[in-house]
Chain A
Amino acid sequence: MPRLPAGIRIMSLIATQGLTLGYRGNTVLRDVNISIERGEIVTIVGPNGSGKSSLLRAIIGAMSPMSGQVQRAPGLRIGYVPQNLSIDGTLPLTVWRFLNLPARACRADVQSALETAGVKGLGNQQMTQLSGGQFQRVLLARALLAQPDLLILDEPTQGLDQPGAAAFYAQIEQVRRARGCAVLMVSHDLHVVMAASDRVLCLNGHVCCEGTPQVVADAPEYRALFGTGTGGTLALYRHDHDHDHHHDHGVH
């Protein structure tokens, strides 16, 4: 991570400058300039392969950028909830033991993290025996144990049914209120996301549009990707030809 010159203080938890990401020379996401502020809930939406997970992985440091950089506030603590965590059946692991990774935590902290995540009393269960919703909440509890300033969740409701997903997002909102941490998440559940986020980033190989949920929902780029939902306003927004994504595939 590049060090900031002395005397300069960034207020953002995370700031990216000209961040470009890819695998083996194939660019997935280019020129991303975003910042995450303290206490806000930011949601990333975008079609499959639009670079959402790559952006999160670059922010946690699991992926090095092709160019550009990620700046983190000094001493930033990140709690990460991965997209999927498959635990091999040969690894015996109680919820309690899992929550003591990577650092041993004291009993009271574990108890309180489980409670905040809405799964108190599960401590002695084996991780492999949990339901999908319980599993995600335990992952959330583990992320909370780091006392994070920023909670990062990658499609946390994958595999949950709609009520389960809604309950999970309500839990996130509650966590934010209880802990005051910022939340950065990737999600497919557009309706829920739009209601629960302070800010939305719409990705499709680059940042198409960003802003409050209302601004993004009205943006032509967003509508081109996701349609207009159930609003019945489809006829008003016939802009299939007025956005520039098609040019990406053509000859310049």
Chain B
Amino acid sequence: MIRAGLAGLGVALAAAPLGCFVVWRRMAYFGDATSHAAILGVALALATDLPVFAGVLVVALAMALLLAGLSGRWVSSDALLGVLSHAALALGLVAISLIDDVRVDLEGYLFGEILAVTARDVLIIWTGAALVCSLLIWRWQGLLMATLSADLAVASGMNPRRESLILTLAMAVTVAVAIKVVGALLIAAMLVIPAAAARPLARTPEMMALFACLIGAASALGGLGGSFAFDTPTGPSIVALAAGLFALSAAFAPLIRRAE
């Protein structure tokens, strides 16, 4: 139970600040496609006896780089993302079914299996989360600048492409550490929902990231507790609680704005 709590917290702390950039840069579909590719990563890991984390990391990174490369060239990247996102998911499911000598708990990879995390998993999750958070803190100003305007960033002597690459890398790491906790189908939710819920509460980007962390952490711990109390699946319980907090924050948004 403590391990599950630590795993959930780790994922929330990586996903929340990264999720802010996903929201600001309108990359929600991008997150979706990258996390769906995780299933393909699971298949790769099973086929090659790699650890699941490694397989997911490799495939998520490849997917994220592919998307980042394509997004500049296609005008309508919305449809493209839709195609790639579901193609990755479907291919992953097909690939896993082909590895028939392994009994695979598919549901665990789709919806997460936080109660089954080992001490080693927790270590990997926290290492990944620490990596994502330090990347974001280290490049914070540059990432914000590149998010606001690529031309402004260039004029200030920055390289917006490098900043995008850092977000892409952070995204792949987050997907890899989150798959055991919330599963491939709900990783994107952990990115977007806490950040969206934090928006009405914040006046600066830093406050929004901080509130997103708090909301993400509360959802992870609360969802875990709730799933114990009501015997519901843990991953979906975490996301459901986050969605509830979003609804609450959205409902109070007009009041907060008036108070300013």
Chain A interface residues (CB < 8 Å from chain B): 57, 60-62, 78-80, 82, 85, 87-88, 90-94, 97-98, 101-104, 126, 146, 152
Q: How many residues of B contact A (CB 8 A)?
A: 27
Write 20 A-B pairs (CB below 8 A) sorted by A numbering: A61-B154, A62-B155, A78-B155, A80-B151, A80-B152, A82-B149, A82-B152, A85-B152, A88-B25, A88-B26, A90-B23, A91-B147, A92-B202, A92-B208, A93-B204, A98-B148, A101-B148, A102-B145, A104-B141, A146-B156
Let me know if B250 is at the binding interface, CB within 8 A. no
Let me know if B144 is at the binding interface, CB within 8 A. yes
Q: What is the distance, in angstroms, from B193's C-beta to the closest C-beta of chain A? A: 13
Report the Cα distance A101→B206, complex, angstroms. Answer: 13
Q: What is the distance, in angstroms, from A87's C-beta to the closest C-beta of chain B? A: 7
Report the Cα distance A85→B152, complex, angstroms. Answer: 9
Q: Residue on A with the closest CB to B196?
A: A90
Report the Cα distance A12→B40, complex, angstroms. Answer: 56
Chain A proximity mask over B127-162: 1 for CB below 8 Å, otherwise 0: 000000000000001101101111111111010000
- Which of A78, A80, A85, A94 counts the most B-chain CB atoms under 10 A from its CB? A80
- Number of A-B pairs whose CB atoms are under 8 Å? 65
Q: Are A126 and B152 in contact (CB under 8 A)?
A: no
Let me know if B205 is at the binding interface, CB within 8 A. yes
Q: What is the distance, in angstroms, from B195's C-beta to the closest C-beta of chain A? A: 8
Q: Residue on B with the closest CB to A104?
A: B141
Report the Cα distance A194→B86, complex, angstroms. Answer: 57
Using Cβ atoms and an 8 Å threshold, which residues of chain B touch A92? 199, 202-205, 207-208
**Residues 185-210 of B at the A interface (beta carbon under 8 Å):** 196, 199, 202-205, 207-208
Report the Cα distance A30→B199, complex, angstroms. Answer: 46
A90-B196, A97-B204 known; A85+B155 contact, CB < 8 A: no
Could you list 9 further interchain pairs (A-B, Cβ under 8 angstroms) beyond the known A90-B24, A146-B156? A60-B155, A80-B151, A80-B152, A85-B148, A87-B148, A88-B24, A88-B25, A91-B205, A103-B156
Using Cβ atoms and an 8 Å threshold, which residues of chain A touch B25? 88
Q: What is the distance, in angstroms, from A191's C-beta to the closest C-beta of chain B? A: 28
- Which of A85, A91, A93, A104 counts the most B-chain CB atoms under 10 A from its CB? A91
Q: Are A101 and B141 in contact (CB under 8 A)?
A: yes
Of A97, A102, A126, A152, the contact of B142 (CB 8 Å cutoff): A102
Q: Are B153 and A102 in contact (CB under 8 A)?
A: yes
Q: What is the distance, in angstroms, from B144's C-beta to the closest C-beta of chain A? A: 6
Q: Residue on B with the closest CB to A152?
A: B155
Report the Cα distance A146→B152, complex, angstroms. Answer: 12
A60-B154, A80-B152, A85-B149 known; A102+B204 contact, CB < 8 A: no
Q: What is the distance, in angstroms, from A49's C-beta to the closest C-beta of chain B? A: 18
Q: What is the distance, in angstroms, from B153's C-beta to the closest C-beta of chain A? A: 7
Report the Cα distance A111→B154, complex, angstroms. Answer: 25
Using Cβ atoms and an 8 Å threshold, which residues of chain A touch B202? 92
Report the Cα distance A79→B151, complex, angstroms. Answer: 12
Q: What is the distance, in angstroms, from B42's C-beta to the closest C-beta of chain A? A: 32
Q: Are A102 and B150 in contact (CB under 8 A)?
A: no
Of B145, B150, B151, B154, the contact of A101 (CB 8 Å cutoff): B145
